[in-house]
Amino acid sequence: MATLIRVLGDFDLAEEAVQEAFVVALERWPRDGIPSNPGGWIITTARNRAIDRLRRARTYEGKLRELAALEPPGEGGADMDPFPDDRLRLFFTCCHPALAPEARVALTLRTLGGLSTAEVGRAFLTGEGAMQQRLVRAKRKIRDARIPYVVPAEHDLPERLRSVLAALYLVFNEGYLATASDGLVRRELCDEALRLTRMLLELMPDEPEARALLALMLLHHSRREARTDAAGEMVLLADQDRSLWHAEEIEEGLGLARRALRFQPPGPYSLQAAIAAEHVSAATYEATAWPRIAELYRLLLEAEPSPVVALNRAVAVAMAEGPEAGLELMDGLLRAGDLEGYHLLHSARADLLGRLDRPDEAAAAYRRALELAVNPVERSFIERRLAGLGA
Amino acid sequence: MKYLLTLFADEDARAAFKPEQQAQSMQAWDAYTKDTVAAGVHLGGEGLQPSSTATTVRIEQSGDHFVSDGPFAETKEQLGGYYLLDCADLDDALAWAKRVPMPGGAVEVRPVMNYEGSEMHTNEAEAEARR
């Protein structure tokens, strides 16, 4: 599929050609027997269908020549995807910065993830029609602006890879932040994100940031059973039953993180993986290496200055040096204004104010957080905290 | 494929250039233009006089015309120039856009419409084939 997309430069044409090939297969194989190389047969048939279509459309002499020259894969193995390089090109094309971020995610899930348009829509709480529109517009932009199907050149690779990793992490986070009620769809997103990141790492085994992203996802994912309680309520890291954490995933994640961190200087995903590794290696919340985590967040802030990272650092500093130190940083963020609309800043401040025995201010901060929070599981958590203040 | 690079910048900042900055800027533009020519991508390009010299003509549905002083849109950053480049693909065009010597400005990169080429025919023919 990826190969055909590259040669034809048109997602829809490639998809239709492959579908037609499958229809023919369904008709012929029961009658004639399954060919020794079914993948190759599909590609060859799809290619021929596409050639016919293009001939009818009277287009692109060059494209026809290229398609015709496409060597049918050897009769050797049952290799369903003899052109792995094309998947890599597809990753970079789907996640091109010239496409809107939502479009990148949708396109990646649709073409590399193999999700249906309806499934992608459900995952992002968008109607199928709206998602279809988004995909159509993105494909049109690729064609009309001539976004090339290439793995970017060395000098462009860091920036372009960041875009791919960001899209994959976005998919993971959509699944990770699921509410208990629509758990099934969202869990599939985490699995899909993991699968695609593994695929990317296989294709780019020397990229430490890709390895680090997989590590990060696995380390987050290992805690999935402990993050909500039987009632579907959110359980903070501090209160999680660590025996529910998945040891195999932790082991794999730690190994990957260690390998990624051999490369200096560490990139943003490597730093985040290092932070996750610290959390997961601690026997208890209190025993966690907070000063080390605070330092890692400081490095992350340098690599990726963002108010959210600054907030996370403030939380770590509060654990390492005491609530006053953390509150000072958070008040600074509030004054700077970027995060005023971010519910987690207010709930984090509220938590510290509570610890400093300032319940009225804590209550005010929780209320502000409630005004802003959307996720029902988070809202329920904040409500309980507010009630617990008794202020 | 042809791409139009339209250049947007804060005119007030540009106007406030000291003579040495002016000279440096002119040199940088000159060098950039020479590079596009040497690379064989240059089809055209000009700097425009400031938006204060612009006049806009509105063409009404009725056929009436409305002439007014000023640029098309009153925005903080104004259109200041353009390049027409013949590039292999968008990445190539973006690479040239990134090299435009205009710190603090923006470059819009848009493919030029291709009427006689295959794209339009493909769309029609494919629609035909699907029917």
pLDDT in tens, A40-84: 777 777 777 776 766 665 545 555 555 555 544 443 333 334 346
Interface of B with A in 24-53 (CB under 8 A): none
The reply to whether B90 touches chain A by the CB within 8 Å rule is yes
Residue B19 CB contacts under 8 Å (≥ 6 apart), including other chains: none
Residue A82 CB contacts under 8 Å (≥ 6 apart), including other chains: A39, A40, A43, A73
Residue A286 CB contacts under 8 Å (≥ 6 apart), including other chains: none
Least confident segment among A28-32, A242-246, A272-276, A287-291: A28-32
What residues of B are in contact with residue A152 (Cβ under 8 Å)?
91
Residue A6 CB contacts under 8 Å (≥ 6 apart), including other chains: A86, A89, A90, A149
The reply to whether A374 touches chain B by the CB within 8 Å rule is no
User: Among partner residues B90, B110, B129, which is closest to A56 by beta-carbon distance?
Assistant: B129
What residues of A are in contact with residue B90 (Cβ under 8 Å)?
96, 98, 145-148
Q: What is the DSSP letter of A71?
A: P
> Under a CB-based contact definition with an 8 Å cutoff, are residues A91 and A51 in contact?
no
The reply to whether A375 touches chain B by the CB within 8 Å rule is no
pLDDT of residue A26: 72
> Under a CB-based contact definition with an 8 Å cutoff, are residues A83 and A3 in contact?
yes
Interface test with B, best of A16, A52, A144 (most B CBs within 10 A): A144
pLDDT of residue A183: 56
Q: In the numeric block, which tokens belong to residue B86?
A: 């013949």
pLDDT tens-digit map of A305-353: 888 899 999 999 999 999 999 999 999 999 988 788 888 999 999 999 9
Task: With CB atoms and an 8 Å threshold, state whether B88 touches A148.
Answer: yes
pLDDT tens-digit map of A227-266: 878 777 778 888 899 899 999 999 999 999 999 999 989 9
Interface test with A, best of B1, B89, B114, B128 (most A CBs within 10 A): B89
User: Among partner residues A59, A147, A150, which is closest to B121 by beta-carbon distance?
Assistant: A59
Task: For tokens 């492959």, name the residue.
Answer: A18
The reply to whether A62 touches chain B by the CB within 8 Å rule is no
Compute the nearest-CA separation of B96 from chain A (Å): 13
Interface predicted TM-score of the whole assembly (ipTM), two decimals: 0.81
CA dihedral A220, A224, A227, A228 (to 10 degrees): 160
pLDDT of residue B126: 55
Task: With CB atoms and an 8 Å threshold, state whether B125 touches A57.
Answer: yes
Instruction: Extract the residue ranges of chain B whose pLDDT is less than 50.
Output: 121, 131
